[in-house]
Chain A
């Protein structure tokens, strides 16, 4: 399978924070959820991919092309929503259409206004009168209206209510009906990703700690719940992290079926991405 996005050994150093040799790949036709706690490096990674942050080490390939050398042509085909990007507040959504027509060769005004209607966004009202959710939807509409092939979205559903999130998720699934397209989306609302993501890439403290298909994760990983005396019998290599509470021990295990075969424990729960994040970050080894 061809990759639409490849990140190879990306490193970037700031005082107090470092991206450490990040690598992952997104095949065509797939949605990747990029998860991690605030400050883990999601936005830095995304901005490096887009070459907004320069002078990082490593290589980024989009559509098989180098993101720096071929920046202009690549950007024609990328739709972006960033956490902190926004248009000047005095603009009207219809002004954005006028501006973007000159920015993108493939800008599609009809499509843009269709999204505005679908999202119930009035085109003649100043953006400053928009609510947070409306602004986010406006950004998404803008990102989609030049027929991009790759969507890169930093927290696109933050600030949206469940209904609006659903609408947006539908749009992403519509988008990858074309198997030449791909979506990289960061989010800490993991329930959105649990449904639609094909791949999950998890970044913690500037490092990728896993990048796998979501199905593998959800079906193989598990949370063992046991007593402290049972926990003491478990070999260190058979769990990834553990958390002790007043009443029980929780162990994150990589393969719940193998664990079941080896140890006699009663409760192994299915994992959710949220559990996974919390145990990976807060658990002990």
Chain B
């Protein structure tokens, strides 16, 4: 499993860990039932504090991505991918909301925005 931590990005480290593990679960790179590294091993390997990895795992458990079996460890949960997708869609919606507000305050037409979207999608390919 690859996790890349940036110490200068300004994003708290537990959030970076949480988001990257979440992404791996949603993309099915980490499969349901798979055992995750322990809090302490992960902290050592990522060179961060135990509290940081503990926070990341606790939030993954809270959000239903990971289940914990006492004295055994943390396992990838059976994630309902529709729910996960829904969550990502919500994120996109709120980002687009910012875009729309910005466009409206500057009198930019919807057509221009969709054009930009089209271009961005093309670039992705």
- B20 in contact (CB, < 8 A): no
Task: Determine if B12 and A219 form an interchain contact, defined as CB atoms under 8 angstroms apart.
Answer: yes
**Chain A, Cβ-Cβ closest to B40:** A177
- A38 in contact (CB, < 8 A): no
Which residues of chain B are near A170, meaning CB under 8 Å?
Answer: 44
Question: Contacts A215-B12, A219-B12, A270-B10 known; A198 to B40 CB distance under 8 Å?
Answer: no
Complex alpha-carbon distance, A185 and B12, angstroms = 24
Task: Determine if B52 and A176 form an interchain contact, defined as CB atoms under 8 angstroms apart.
Answer: no
- A173's contact among B10, B47, B51, by CB below 8 Å, is which? B47
Task: Determine if B49 and A31 form an interchain contact, defined as CB atoms under 8 angstroms apart.
Answer: yes
Which residues of chain A are near B48, meaning CB under 8 Å?
Answer: 195-196
User: How many residues of chain B are within 8 Å of chain A by beta carbon?
Assistant: 15
A34 shortest CB reach to chain B, Å: 15
Task: Determine if A215 and B50 form an interchain contact, defined as CB atoms under 8 angstroms apart.
Answer: no
- B55 in contact (CB, < 8 A): yes
Interface mask (A141-159 → B, CB under 8 Å = 1, otherwise 0): 0000000000000000000
Task: Determine if B14 and A174 form an interchain contact, defined as CB atoms under 8 angstroms apart.
Answer: no
Which residues of chain A are near B101, meaning CB under 8 Å?
Answer: none
- A214 in contact (CB, < 8 A): yes
User: How many residues of chain A are within 8 Å of chain B by beta carbon?
Assistant: 21
Which residues of chain B are near A195, meaning CB under 8 Å?
Answer: 47-49
- B80 in contact (CB, < 8 A): no
A87 shortest CB reach to chain B, Å: 30
- B41 in contact (CB, < 8 A): yes
Question: Contacts A215-B14, A219-B12, A270-B10 known; A196 to B47 CB distance under 8 Å?
Answer: yes
- A106 in contact (CB, < 8 A): no
- A198's contact among B10, B12, B41, B49, by CB below 8 Å, is which? B49
Task: Determine if A177 and B52 form an interchain contact, defined as CB atoms under 8 angstroms apart.
Answer: no
- A79 in contact (CB, < 8 A): no
Which residues of chain B are near A218, meaning CB under 8 Å?
Answer: 12
A280 shortest CB reach to chain B, Å: 21
Task: Determine if B51 and A177 form an interchain contact, defined as CB atoms under 8 angstroms apart.
Answer: no
Which residues of chain A are near B12, meaning CB under 8 Å?
Answer: 215, 218-219
Question: Contacts A177-B40, A179-B40, A270-B10 known; A215 to B47 CB distance under 8 Å?
Answer: no
- A29 in contact (CB, < 8 A): yes
- A30 in contact (CB, < 8 A): yes
- A215's contact among B40, B41, B44, B52, by CB below 8 Å, is which? B52
Most central of A29, A215, A270 by chain B CB within 10 Å:
A215
**Chain B, Cβ-Cβ closest to A177:** B40
Task: Determine if B14 and A29 form an interchain contact, defined as CB atoms under 8 angstroms apart.
Answer: no
A74 shortest CB reach to chain B, Å: 24
Question: Contacts A215-B55, A219-B12 known; A30 to B50 CB distance under 8 Å?
Answer: yes
Complex alpha-carbon distance, A251 and B88, angstroms = 37
Known: A31-B50, A176-B40, A179-B40. 5 other contacts (CB 8 A): A30-B50, A30-B51, A31-B49, A198-B50, A215-B13
